[in-house]
Amino acid sequence: MPTDVPKVTLNNGVQMPILGFGVYQIPAEETEKAVTEALAAGYRLLDTAAAYGNEAAVGRAISSSGIPREELFVTTKLWIQDTGEESTKRAFDASLQRLGLDYLDLYLIHQPIGDVYGSWRAMQRLNCDGCVRAIGVSNFYPDRLVDLIEHNEITPAVNQIETHPFFQRTADQELMRQHGVNLESWGPFAEGRNNLFTDPLLTEIGAAHGKSVAQVVLRWLIQRGVVVIPKSVGAERMAENIEVFDFELSGEEMARIATLDTGNSQFFDHRDPAMVSRLSKVRIHE
Ligand SMILES: NC(=O)c1ccc[n+]([C@@H]2O[C@H](COP(=O)([O-])OP(=O)(O)OC[C@H]3O[C@@H](n4cnc5c(N)ncnc54)[C@H](OP(=O)(O)O)[C@@H]3O)[C@@H](O)[C@H]2O)c1
């Protein structure tokens, strides 16, 4: 029997699995197989994005799985090129069509760049019309997040941000909690950077529980109430990454993992002007 994944309740009452499957950097031609295997392993939350170029493959895997739609939780994201009120509606429809779905569970603004206010107005309407069950953002630092909250009707249900042992985001999480925004981690393993998978402390804690470093990291995030979406193209690792509900980290172990925080990204800073320019030039369609 596949693992029963617990759910978090978002600020609008929608329930979201606390663990799902991310498909960033899985080539489109490999994505259908990967998602099919993830669904067989028990994953029900799928995280893709228009910019990943693999929404159609995710859709094919969903369709051939035979899993009832209401058992799935599907997230995709709006790219910078499509920000703005009118473009967002078009981009949403195009994503939905590629996914072969008639509604989405969660739609995120992928980056805090471009006309995100126009996009948010369109997303609020999509949410009210029942086209998407929850709306949120990604890569928003606290100032951008609070500004969006203060000037709109609907507070984002989720902020998906880089979160892993070397960049723990505890203060950001506390601020989000105060505003009712759930933290979703991207890059829970920091994509293996900084030797995460051989980190001595995480290895030692894993050994004490008969668990891998990957399982310790996911468990640590889940115990913090953070939604996780690890990516793997290996069926064995998919199974490993979902087997995290049969052990618990002690308060002392949680405190020891807290010491690994560097407070810095392992990737790049979304507030870096050069990066804002670079991302703004990334086009995903004509
Ligand atoms: N919103 C954003 O801007 C944003 C940015 C990045 C990512 N994301 C989302 O977050 C998801 C996860 O982040 P990510 O894909 O960047 O990185 P990640 O999940 O931190 O790491 C994935 C890497 O870890 C390896 N891995 C997975 N499970 C493992 C295990 N049990 N043992 C050893 N190695 C393991 C994978 O290799 P194999 O595949 O070879 O197993 C892959 O190289 C993405 O897929 C995407 O959905 C969002």
Report which protein residue has its CA nearest ligand 1's atom 48. Answer: 186
pLDDT value of residue 188: 98
pLDDT value of residue 37: 98
Nearest atom within ligand 1 for CA of residue 233 = 39
Asked if 19 and 5 count as a contact pair (C-beta separation under 8 A), the reply is: yes
On average, the pLDDT of the chain sits at 97
pLDDT value of residue 190: 98
Q: What is the crossing angle of helices 85-99 and 55-65, to 10°?
A: 40
Separation of CA 257 and ligand 1 centre (Å):
20
Separation of CA 26 and ligand 1 centre (Å):
10
- Amino acid making up residue 68: P
Tell me the torsion sign for CA atoms 8, 14, 20, 23: negative
Residues 193-220: pLDDT tens digits?
999 999 999 999 999 999 999 999 999 9
pLDDT value of residue 2: 63
> Rounded CA gap, 152 and 108, in Å?
15
Q: Pick from 151, 140, 160: which is nearest to 221 by CA?
A: 160
Does this model's pTM top 0.95? yes
Report which protein residue has its CA nearest ligand 1's atom 22. Answer: 191
209 is in an annotated binding site: no
Compute how many other C-beta atoms are within 10 angstroms of the C-beta atom of residue 6. 11
Separation of CA 224 and ligand 1 centre (Å):
19
Say whether pLDDT at 42 is over 80.
yes
Asked if 222 and 247 count as a contact pair (C-beta separation under 8 A), the reply is: no
Report which protein residue has its CA nearest ligand 1's atom 27. Answer: 232
Report which protein residue has its CA nearest ligand 1's atom 21. Answer: 191
Separation of CA 230 and ligand 1 centre (Å):
5
52 is catalytic: yes
Compute how many other C-beta atoms are within 10 angstroms of the C-beta atom of residue 244. 25
Nearest atom within ligand 1 for CA of residue 138 = 1
Nearest atom within ligand 1 for CA of residue 231 = 19
Residues 85-114: pLDDT tens digits?
999 999 999 999 999 999 999 999 999 999
Query: Considering the chain, what percentage of its residues have pLDDT values greater than 90?
Result: 99
Report which protein residue has its CA nearest ligand 1's atom 5. Answer: 186
User: Quick one: how far is CA 224 from the chain centroid?
Assistant: 15
- pLDDT band at residue 3 under the 50/70/90 scheme: confident
Residue 132 backbone dihedrals phi, psi, to 5 degrees: -140, 135
> Rounded CA gap, 184 and 19, in Å?
10
**Out of 52, 107, 117, 141, which one is annotated catalytic?**
52
- Rounded average pLDDT over 276-285: 97
In angstroms, the Cα distances linking 126 to 4, 86, 91, 92, 147 are 30, 12, 12, 9, 21
Nearest atom within ligand 1 for CA of residue 237 = 31
Compute how many other C-beta atoms are within 10 angstroms of the C-beta atom of residue 143. 10
Pocket of ligand 1 (CB under 6 A): 22-25, 47, 110, 138-139, 160, 186-192, 197, 212, 214, 229-234, 237, 240-241
Report which protein residue has its CA nearest ligand 1's atom 4. Answer: 186
Residues 106-157: pLDDT tens digits?
999 999 999 999 999 999 999 999 999 999 999 999 999 999 999 999 999 9
> Rounded CA gap, 79 and 94, in Å?
12
Separation of CA 231 and ligand 1 centre (Å):
4
Domain 7-280 class?
alpha beta
In angstroms, the Cα distances linking 99 to 77, 87, 93, 109, 210 are 12, 18, 10, 17, 38
Separation of CA 94 and ligand 1 centre (Å):
25
pLDDT value of residue 1: 54
Nearest atom within ligand 1 for CA of residue 241 = 31
